[in-house]
Amino acid sequence: MTLMTLVITFALNDLFIFGIYYLYNFYQRKKKGYANANKNRNKVDFKQIFYIQEYDEEGHPCQKFCKYKLDNQEEFLHLLKRLDAKGLLLMDDNDDSNVITSLFDIITNQQYRVVAAHPFVIKNKVTCMQIEDKIMEKEILITIKDTLNKYVKIPFEIFSDRILKDQNGVTIMKSDGILVSDEYVFLCEAKHEVVIENINNLVQQLQEFPSKIQQANDPTFKLLLRKKRFGVACGVMFSESLREIAKNLGLIVVFPDNGYYKVEIPDEVSLWL
């Protein structure tokens, strides 16, 4: 074998080894890129705003829409679960095979209708907002109860009733939920979208609670009379500015955060717990 042949042979071997090394590194970089893409796919760079159609009291679709603002897939799946929906469809799309189950397929500011997982969603003749409010109340009460149990040694329980009636059986106060312990009572105002009227209503309920109990024809409610009372404002759409107003009024606030409900307690309330 000549010297030239040896040189060419070694050069080809080196080139082959370099090629294998290059391909291996290219594959690793590509694999890492896919991993990072999948890791970041759960979150978008901005809050996605869209609208979901509601139904009237007779269960018929109407032109009223709920506004939603979400920023990750986990929140979107949580929303579908609360609405008991397979997914969403654009208003002008009648092909159920195009059902949307990912936030990344949502078009900003577009209107959608619910593709129900079960017929009862429509047959029950309730709006999307009413469905969500009903389920949200249970979720929020459990969330608040679990959070408060971390602050105090005495456990909190969900009160058995939320409607207060006078001696004649007339409703004089209705709460979205009540939590109690041996020392405290928490009145909850839970709405799909919290507005200033909800906050003012809760503050008024807290002020009138003792006098309303005095009018009540319910010995169970009368047991709450001597307890220290607080208010809890809760909502799926609860703006930061309204949350600050509520906390400045001494109210606990509850709102969605990364697919779960977050509880914020004002300092003056924390001092009591």
Is the domain of 220 the same as that of 116?
no
pLDDT of residue 129: 53
Residues 103 and 173 in one domain: no
Q: What are the start-end ranges of the E strands in the chain? A: 43-55, 61-72, 85-90, 111-116, 157-158, 163-165, 171-174, 177-180, 184-193, 228-237, 252-257, 260-264
pLDDT tens digits, one per residue of 185-233: 999 888 878 899 999 999 999 999 888 888 877 788 888 888 899 999 9
Measured in degrees and rounded to the nearest 5, phi and psi for residue 272 equal -80, -25
The residue segments making up the domain with residue 167 are: 129-270
User: What does pTM read for this prediction?
Assistant: 0.54
Domain boundary among 95, 125, 155: 125
Q: Are residues 72 and 192 in the same domain?
A: no
Instruction: Provide the domain count of the chain.
Output: 2
Average pLDDT, the chain: 76
**Identity at 235, one-letter amino acid code:** G
Q: State residue 5's pLDDT score.
A: 57
Comparison of pLDDT for 122 and 145, the residue scoring more: 145
The confidence band for 122, taking pLDDT boundaries of 50, 70 and 90, is very low
Query: Is 6 within a domain?
Result: no
Q: Which of 22-26, 118-122, 248-252 has the highest mean pLDDT?
A: 248-252
Residues 6+ apart with CB under 8 A from 195: 242
Residue 16 has pLDDT above 60, yes or no: no
For residue 90, list its beta bridge partners.
Answer: 112
Euclidean distance between CA atoms 272 and 80, whole angstroms: 38
At 88 the pLDDT is 92
pLDDT at 54: 79
Q: Are residues 65 and 139 in the same domain?
A: no
User: What CATH number has the domain bearing residue 256?
Assistant: 3.40.91
Residue 115 sits in a domain whose CATH number is 3.10.20
Evaluate if residue 46 carries a pLDDT over 60: no
- 9 located within any domain: no
Both tokens of residue 188? 């909850």
Read off the pLDDT of each residue in 140-148 and give the average, rounded to a whole number. 75
- From 125, 141, 174, the end of a domain falls on 125
Q: Specify the DSSP class assigned to residue 254.
A: E
Are both 256 and 216 inside the same structural domain?
yes
Give me the residue label for tokens 């990072």: 36
Task: Give the mean model confidence (pLDDT) for residues 2-10.
Answer: 53
> Is residue 193 domain-resident?
yes
- 4-13, 72-81, 132-141, 246-255: which has the minimum mean pLDDT? 4-13
Please state the rounded mean pLDDT for residues 107-122: 73
Does residue 230 lie within any of the structural domains?
Answer: yes
> Do 217 and 98 share a structural domain?
no
